[in-house]
Amino acid sequence: MIIRHVAVRSGPRVFARRSLQPLRRFLSSEVDPIDQATNNSIKQTQSLEAQLNALPPQPVPSIDPETPGTSPAAQVTDSVAEQYHQYKKRQQLIGNLGSDISPHYQPHTLLNNPPSPADVTLELLLASEAHQGHATSLWNPANARYIHGIRQGIHIISLEVTAAHLRRAAKVVEEVSRRAGLILFVGTREGQDRAVVRAAELSKQYHLFERWIPGSITNGQQILGRCKTKVINEKDEEIPGFEEQLYDRPVLRPDLVVCMNPLENYVLLHECALNNIPTIGVIDTNADPTWVTYPIPANDDSLRCIQVIAGVLGRAGEAGTKQRLLAAERGEVVYRPAKNLKMPGEDDGLANPSPEAAADVSQRLQNDESLGNADELEAKLEDANNGDGRRQQRINLSA
């Protein structure tokens, strides 16, 4: 009885002490010193390095299945030419790997290589944001036939209508350029200057990217009267000797005006309408399409859209100019030459009339009773001998 009670009383205490010893070791906060931990890590690194050095060199698998694997020591070459040869060989093997995103938008391509009228597609117009109009509260009801729909309070322009009107305007520009007409490209908004200049360079025409001077067409003799003009032949080569004949001629007017921002150039369009000059304009949903002769419904706020339209019209003008020059090489003149112009040297005979004509004029002047002054009679005789008093006066002034 006594032994049994002792075992029952002391047994749980013994088992409890033994079971708590591992737990106390686990919860203990005692750690190894820093030096000892550093030495252990160094020993482990050295042992790993020794194991790696003890391994035999493994052959490197080749990318080309026809070339056997070589060791790293064999790949090291002393010649730069051999290294370059290996680089080119690897480039041929793996150069075509990866993705190629083509075509992608590059802003300079629309200026350096603008599209032709045959390259106009709905995808190109959509990418240039030609379909974006203005808010519905700003629309002009005259543009209802050009609008496709409404999205989030903004009018969407029909790209099919835009493409059709752009091709029609390109045909007009091509025909005017083929007939040696003067085309004026106008774009006065910020950023439109490069597109306008490029279109004029392609078609060998004229451009304006600054403010239009009011009255340059209706009162052109006073504003542009001092501008120099010249005479060219069918091959666009200047012919000298016409300076005296061009002195009193009226200033030149454009045969066609292409306006990229009609809202800011209403005065220009009004002057063209007064003088029966056809016009082409980019009409947004807030503009009036009746301002121009050939409207192009598109987004006039997008520079990319303006570059596309100006490039297409410039290419059309370039095609017309090439046709005219090819016809000139064959000896054909496809335009109406200027009137009242004579080749230099042909009017010398008219300046010196025959003696019989001079005597006849002198006799009629002497029989005129209204001329009682001898000085007036002498002046009339001198004018008759010179053929044309006004021509002689102009020559003296120019001299």
Q: Which domain holds residue 368?
A: 348-398
314 and 114 Cβ atoms separated by less than 8 Å: yes
In total, the chain counts a number of residues equal to 399
Question: Does residue 63 lie in a domain region?
Answer: no
At 345 the pLDDT is: 67
- C-alpha distances (whole Å) from 151 to each of 128, 136, 154, 299 are 18, 10, 5, 15
At 98 the pLDDT is: 76
For residue 136, the domain's CATH number is: 3.40.50.10490
> Which residues of the chain are modeled with pLDDT < 50?
1, 3, 6, 26, 71, 73-75, 77, 349-351, 361, 365, 368-374, 377, 381, 384-399
Question: Does residue 335 lie in a domain region?
Answer: no
State the alpha helices, DSSP H only, in the chain. 2-26, 34-54, 72-75, 80-94, 109-112, 122-127, 159-178, 193-203, 220-223, 266-274, 303-329, 348-351, 355-367, 374-386, 389-398
Same domain for 382 and 295, yes or no, is no
Question: Does residue 249 lie in a domain region?
Answer: yes
Same domain for 140 and 222, yes or no, is yes
185 and 207 Cβ atoms separated by less than 8 Å: yes
At 351 the pLDDT is: 45
pLDDT tens for residues 29-77?
A: 555 566 676 777 777 777 767 776 676 655 555 555 555 555 454 445 4
Catalogue the long-range contacts made by 245-253 (C-beta closer than 8 Å, 24 or more residues apart). 245/340, 245/341, 245/342, 247/394, 247/398, 248/394, 249/340, 250/220, 250/221, 251/220, 251/221, 251/224, 251/225, 251/227, 252/182, 253/182, 253/217, 253/220, 253/277
- What SS3 string covers 167-226? HHHHHHHHHHHHCCCCEEEECCCCCCHHHHHHHHHHHCCEEECCCCCCCCCCCHHHHCCC
296 and 316 Cβ atoms separated by less than 8 Å: no
304 and 129 Cβ atoms separated by less than 8 Å: yes
Same domain for 374 and 232, yes or no, is no
Domain final residue, candidates 329, 357, 390: 329
Question: Does residue 121 lie in a domain region?
Answer: yes
Same domain for 277 and 359, yes or no, is no
3-state secondary structure of 162: helix
Cα separation of the two ends of the chain? 157
Question: Does residue 22 lie in a domain region?
Answer: no
Question: Does residue 381 lie in a domain region?
Answer: yes
Same domain for 393 and 261, yes or no, is no
pLDDT tens for residues 283-323?
A: 999 999 999 999 999 999 999 999 999 999 999 999 999 99
Domain final residue, candidates 270, 295, 329: 329
Same domain for 314 and 378, yes or no, is no
HSE, side-chain direction, 13 A CA sphere, residue 335? 23
Which of 301, 296, 18, 337 lies closest to 158 in space, CA to CA?
296
Domain final residue, candidates 329, 363, 387: 329
Any bridge partners for residue 135, and if so which? 154
Same domain for 118 and 195, yes or no, is yes
Is the pTM here over 0.85, yes or no?
no
> Phi/psi of residue 340, each to 5°?
60, 35
At 398 the pLDDT is: 35
Same domain for 125 and 269, yes or no, is yes
Question: Does residue 72 lie in a domain region?
Answer: no
Same domain for 161 and 193, yes or no, is yes
Number of domains in the chain: 2
